[in-house]
Amino acid sequence: MRIFLIRHGQTDGNKKELIQGWLDMGLNATGIKQAKLLAKRLKNEKIDVFYSSDLKRAVLTTEEIKKYHPGKPWIKTPLLRERKFGLFEGIEIKKYYEVIKSYNIESYEFRPPFGESYSDVLKRAVNFFKQIYWKHKNQSVVVVAHGTFNRIFISYLLGISFKESMKIEQENTCLNIIDIGSKPRLIALNDFSHLNSN
């Protein structure tokens, strides 16, 4: 199995450096352009099935890629949603980290009120992987999700700690490619070179 793991295109929330979580923001003009450039990059890849978060920013990104792969199945699922930040959704990322600092714990350990910790998101990621592995063992799967979800998913597949996973950058429309054989093999990480093309 080959997994093309993608982060959605830019939103106004990304531009303003806000915590989005489950807030349902669409792509801005830059995000749409990014998604189109990514779609061109993937147009000649063999893709058997699409999975995306059901949040607008992931759905709109997937729509652009799928234009080059008509007729392929596409499943939208809440399992791929971003980490839920509860009461902190909509605030500046900088302010969120100031709050965590006052608790004197790592951000991956923190569970925001009405939100999720890294461990909560990991449960969703594991559930999702088990579902797709048995259905698409010998296929190529596009997965369009979100920054924090992607970090946690990658950490699960590669067997690295939450602390290590926090160092993984995930730019808008970045591409991560993971081959799942006898053991997972990372082919590309946070690759957004397509954004440099016209």
Beta strands in 78-128 (DSSP E): none
Q: Exactly one of 8, 64, 69, 146 is catalytic; which is it?
A: 8
Q: Which of 197, 188, 146 has the alpha carbon at shortest distance from 41?
A: 197
- The number of beta carbons lying within 10 Å of the beta carbon of residue 188 is 13
**Does residue 27 contact residue 10 with C-beta atoms inside 8 Å?**
yes
Beta strands 49-53; 74-77: pairing state? parallel
- C-alpha distances out from residue 141 to 84, 132, 178, Å: 25, 8, 10
- Give yes or no for a contact between 51 and 77, defined as CB atoms under 8 angstroms apart: yes
Token pair belonging to 35: 């998604």
- Is residue 82 part of the annotated active site? The answer reads yes
- In sequence order, the 6+-apart residues with CB closer than 8 A to the CB of 87 are 112, 113, 114, 115
Would residue 69 show up in a list of annotated catalytic residues for this protein? no
Which of the following is catalytic: 64, 82, 89, 116? 82
**Which of the 8 DSSP states describes residue 196?**
G
Catalytic residues: 8, 82
